[in-house]
Amino acid sequence: MSFAQVHTRSIVGLNAPPVTVEVHISQGLPALTMVGLPEASVRESKDRVRSAIINSGFDFPNRRITINLAPADLPKDGARLDLPIAIGILSASGQIDERVLGDFEFVGELALNGDLRGITGALSVARAVKGCARTLIMPKINGAEAVKVADVGILGADNLTQVCHHLNAVSGVGGGEKLTPMIFTHESTNPVYTLDLSDVKGQYHARRALEICATGGHSILFKGSPGSGKTLMASRLPSILPPLTDDEALEVASVYSVAGVPYEFGVRPFRPCHHTMSAVALSGGGSRPKPGEISLAHHGVLFLDELPEFDRKTLEVMRQPLESKEIIISRASAQVAYPANFQLVGAMNPCPCGYHGDPSNRCRCTSEQVRRYQDKISGPLLDRIDIHIHVPAMPIDDLQNAPLGESSAVVRERVIKAYAIALNRQGKPNSQLTPSQIDTYIPLGIAQKQFLATAQSRLNLSARSYHRLLRVARTIADLAMSEQVEVAHLAEAVSYR
Ligand SMILES: [Zn+2]
């Protein structure tokens, strides 16, 4: 047999479309040609595969080798095709029985000595292979991610030799050792958060706002002097959010797997971003598009500290994902979509020096400077933040004498109950209600309408802000276990503008 066909996967966004590696060995001068849109990283695999085959004690055929990666129009990058290419060459040269290859898919990068190295996107590959009745052979090091996918046969290997022994054992050629299947582990989606809300002393107003945020999936902006505890509070939001469902946890894990970033399964992400961050780092992209911070914050929290210091162009990339919950990255060969359903938390000082309105009276900024500073955040972005809250600095004495705050576990119990009410009613968190759903799920009586009319004329609310106000009021009513949104709920919502 001088021809072999091997199944593998490419990675496009979070998807892992099938790719077939076809290897043909023919008479002629020794050469290796690769066709089918391989990118630079795949072309480099020639040299790795050759060394890995020789160093594993196999023969590298000294003839003309043609490798075709099909379909040709699918972009292929990364070193994950090393293993399938090596298996194809070994099979086409008669060193592995070709007939068993149809039962398997292969992914993995090869080291020059034949060892298998981990790849990015292993979880996406495992999800894609599920349901196609093939067994996946991949680097053992990726097993911990891949075994989160139920009902898929996965074999982990340390090197090329182990893979060949397994294939020969299956085909009855030679008495090699078989690989042991990796066992699906269902981990609890109730992870432990090390940062607890009990560390936040006092600040009852801001804690309440955070609880509303967690319940309705609302975005929030903390405004306050340095040291008032804005970051302390923001970083505790994941610990009071409802637990991720299994599907949500898998989605988040897939993003991290493709990005090659470690992830503790089931944890709500918290991604703090600094204002020096580039637009690409935030949105994702690059020549090989990688998920950015907004996707790494999927089903979790994106924290932008010192919001006015961010470049407007950088913040602009968030506008579309805030509406559509995903980001589309275009490049020459293809469009890639990554999920970006994140909860936005911002923090800012009230003025350039940070102490405007502070009881210490140390701020010397002019009112013009204060206004200019606050205006640095673009109106459209500000309009998309549901809750604005002032966090006063606590005097040291108060801070030292204040009792510990309520723990995350206690707050989360209330959040989970109120969140369940919203899900039962409308199938999604309140922050995602459309204007027509607002009419359906937030019926207003005469008193409520009168209150809103006054508020609207006094605060000069845009239509968008008006809807945000109602969504927040709906969440406040849910926390109060009230079917009807009362005037008191509306009034509290207005206080967060
Ligand atoms: Zn100031």
Which pLDDT score is estimated for 75? 77
Distance 226 CA to ligand 1 centre (A): 11
Distance 354 CA to ligand 1 centre (A): 5
Distance 308 CA to ligand 1 centre (A): 14
Say if residue 263 is in the same domain as residue 360.
yes
Which pLDDT score is estimated for 333? 66
Distance 361 CA to ligand 1 centre (A): 9
Cβ neighbours, 10 Å, residue 204 = 10
Which pLDDT score is estimated for 189? 57
Distance 362 CA to ligand 1 centre (A): 8
- Tell me the pairing of strands 116-117 and 109-110: antiparallel
Distance 390 CA to ligand 1 centre (A): 15
Nearest to 387 by CA among 236, 196, 223, 198: 223
The answer as to whether 424 is a domain residue is no
Distance 388 CA to ligand 1 centre (A): 19
Distance CA 17, CA 39 (A): 16
Nearest to 188 by CA among 130, 245, 145: 245
Distance 159 CA to ligand 1 centre (A): 61
Distance 494 CA to ligand 1 centre (A): 26
SS3 323: helix
Nearest to 217 by CA among 299, 155, 132: 299
The answer as to whether 118 is a domain residue is yes
* Domain CATH code at residue 493: 1.10.8
Which pLDDT score is estimated for 359? 80
Got the DSSP string for 137-188? EEEGGGHHHHTTSSS--EEEESBHHHHHHHHHHHHTSS-PPPPPBPPP----
Distance 409 CA to ligand 1 centre (A): 37
Distance 368 CA to ligand 1 centre (A): 11
Say if residue 364 is in the same domain as residue 403.
yes
Distance 275 CA to ligand 1 centre (A): 20
The answer as to whether 276 is a domain residue is yes
HEC readout, 343-371: EEEEEECCCCCCCCCCCCCCCCCCHHHHH
Distance CA 52, CA 63 (A): 17
Say if residue 131 is in the same domain as residue 202.
no
Say if residue 207 is in the same domain as residue 155.
no
The contacts of residue 431 (CB under 8 Å, 6+ apart) are 216, 217, 218, 219, 386, 471, 475
The answer as to whether 427 is a domain residue is no
Segments in the chain below pLDDT 70: 1, 38, 186-190, 333
Distance 203 CA to ligand 1 centre (A): 22
Distance 376 CA to ligand 1 centre (A): 15
Say if residue 234 is in the same domain as residue 177.
no
Question: For residues 34 and 69, is the Cβ–Cβ distance under 8 A?
Answer: yes
The answer as to whether 419 is a domain residue is no
The answer as to whether 302 is a domain residue is yes
Distance CA 112, CA 226 (A): 53
Which pLDDT score is estimated for 362? 86
Structural domain of residue 42, as residue ranges? Answer: 3-182
Distance 355 CA to ligand 1 centre (A): 5
Which pLDDT score is estimated for 187? 64
* Domain CATH code at residue 271: 3.40.50.300
Domain boundary pick from 182, 208, 238: 182
Distance 391 CA to ligand 1 centre (A): 15
- Tell me the pairing of strands 326-330 and 335-339: antiparallel
Say if residue 72 is in the same domain as residue 121.
yes
The answer as to whether 420 is a domain residue is no
Six-digit token pair at 309?
């210091």
Burial of 172 (C-beta count, 10 Å sphere; 0-12/13-18/19+): exposed
pTM, 2 dp: 0.90
Check whether the bond before 61 is cis (ω within 30° of 0).
no
User: Hey, what's the torsion of the CAs at 69, 72, 74, 76, to 10 degrees?
Assistant: 40
Distance 344 CA to ligand 1 centre (A): 25
Nearest 5°: CA angle at 474, between 441 and 272?
A: 125
Distance 318 CA to ligand 1 centre (A): 28
- In 224-375 the beta strands, taken as DSSP E runs, fall at 270-273, 284-285, 290-291, 301-304, 326-330, 335-339, 343-348
Distance 360 CA to ligand 1 centre (A): 11
Say if residue 364 is in the same domain as residue 230.
yes
Q: What domain count does the chain have?
A: 3
Distance 233 CA to ligand 1 centre (A): 23
Distance 365 CA to ligand 1 centre (A): 4
- Tell me the pairing of strands 343-348 and 301-304: parallel
Cα dihedral sign for 199, 430, 496, 319?
positive
* Domain CATH code at residue 136: 3.30.230.10
Say if residue 332 is in the same domain as residue 389.
yes
Distance 15 CA to ligand 1 centre (A): 49
The answer as to whether 237 is a domain residue is yes
Distance 228 CA to ligand 1 centre (A): 15
